[in-house]
Structure formats: structure tokens, C-alpha cells
Amino acid sequence: MKVLITVGATEEPIDPIRYITNASSGKMGKAVAEEALKRNHSVTIIAAIIKVTLPRNKNVKIYRVRTANEMIIKTMDELSNRYDILISTAAIADYTPIYSEKKIKSGNKGLTIKLKPNPKLTRMARERFKKLYVVAFKAEYNTSLLELVRSAYMKLRDENLDLVVGNDVKKNGMGSDENEVCIVNKRGEYVLISRDYKERIAERIWDIIEEEFGNYSKD
């Protein structure tokens, strides 16, 4: 299959020298990409800011971006090349600062930064590419399993996605070598994958994707 995977954390500039970002390392996305290659899928990676070395072989293409806007534009453009699956592991900023062309002066008693919401990549991909199988990741913080499943399913339902992988980043902090996730499908069913190394989590994720995609292709 032809698979596009987004990886890493976006950086959103505030002024020419400052930006906001998040703690995503790209480790989960890398593991998902490496597992896809082991299964002989053709892989394209669109990577933002990462703290890992991405896989390189004849079956992988890699593009680099920085901001949420760049990630969205590049991903949507690349998806026009007829992909089967999009797996969005990247931690794409929900908001972007209103950019200041000049450096904001220090020494003020306080600073207010205005933010504007970013479009949701997975929603845009689903709306434009009707036959694309879309897998999203949904991060929550300090939540129960029930709340995590509910949150993942709400994202799946609201954006008409195919699978959503939910994880609580308080239990398994961004940048960790391990993770614990729940995977929710369109039927409202979920699978809990207990804490394990991200490489093994990626194996289980791909087992479920391939099983669900087989059923999806028959529909």
C-alpha cells in the first residue's frame, strides 16, 4: 500500500526569533514508518521538528516542514498523488500566533500573544480525498481510559475518520521510548495496547490498520 505519515512537532513563529512548539519527539511516527517499511508498504514521511533519525531506503520519501501551515499544505499536495492511507502522528499546533514582523521588545511587565486556530489536517484530508483511509492520533492529558476512548471516538465521528489512536501524555510523556494507547474504530470499538516500547506499539497499530483496511476495501 501507499502510505503517507506525518511526524514530529510544528513550530509556530511569534516574531523573527521566537516561536511556540510542543514536546513531541517524532519517535512514535518513526516507529510507525519503520513498521510500514517492514511490511513492504511504500512510505512517504512529512516531518516537522523531530529528535530522531528517520528511516532511509528505496521505499521511503521524506519531506521537511516547520509550521502547521507548511505541514497542511505539503500533506494535502502530496495526497493528490493517490495514497491509500494517511497516518497523522504529528503534533500539529492547534493555534498559530499572529506574527510580528519585528522582534517583540523585552522588558515589558506583561505580554499578550494573540492566537488564531489552525485547520485540522485530518478533517481536510477526509473531505477532499473520499477514498483515503485516515488514521489520526489524539493526545489527552491526565484522563481516564473511558474519557480517552470517548475523546478519540468524538474526533473520529466529528471528522469522519477511520481509526483514532488515543494516548494520555501525562502517563507516557512526549519524547518517551514507551507509550500506551487505545485504538478506536468507526463501530465504537476500542483496543487498549498496554504500555510498551513504541516499536511494539507500532506493530500492534499496523496489525489493526491492515485488518480494518481489508474490511474497508471490501465495503
Residue 47's CB: how many other CB atoms inside 10 A?
22
Catalytic: 57?
A: no
Domains of the chain, residue spans: 2-97+113-218
How do residues 44-60 score in pLDDT, each as one tens digit? 999 999 999 999 888 89
* Residue type present at position 58: K
- Is residue 133 predicted with pLDDT exceeding 90? yes
How do residues 158-213 score in pLDDT, each as one tens digit? 999 999 999 998 877 678 899 999 999 999 999 999 999 999 999 999 999 999 98
Contacts of 101 (CB under 8 A, 6+ apart): 15, 16
| 145-159 and 121-128 helices, crossing angle to 10° | 40
Q: How much is the pTM?
A: 0.94
What pLDDT shows up at residue 216?
61
**Which stretch of 15-29, 54-68, 101-115, 193-207 has the lowest confidence by average pLDDT?**
101-115
- Among the listed residues 22, 59, 142, 185, the single catalytic one is 22
DSSP character at residue 91: B
Please report where in the chains the cell 493528490 appears, as a residue: 80
Mean pLDDT over residues 152-163, rounded? 98
Q: Does domain 2-97+113-218 have CATH number 3.40.50.10300?
A: yes
Mean pLDDT over residues 141-153, rounded? 95
Better-scored residue on pLDDT, 160 or 107:
160
What pLDDT shows up at residue 218?
44
| 68-79 and 121-128 helices, crossing angle to 10° | 20
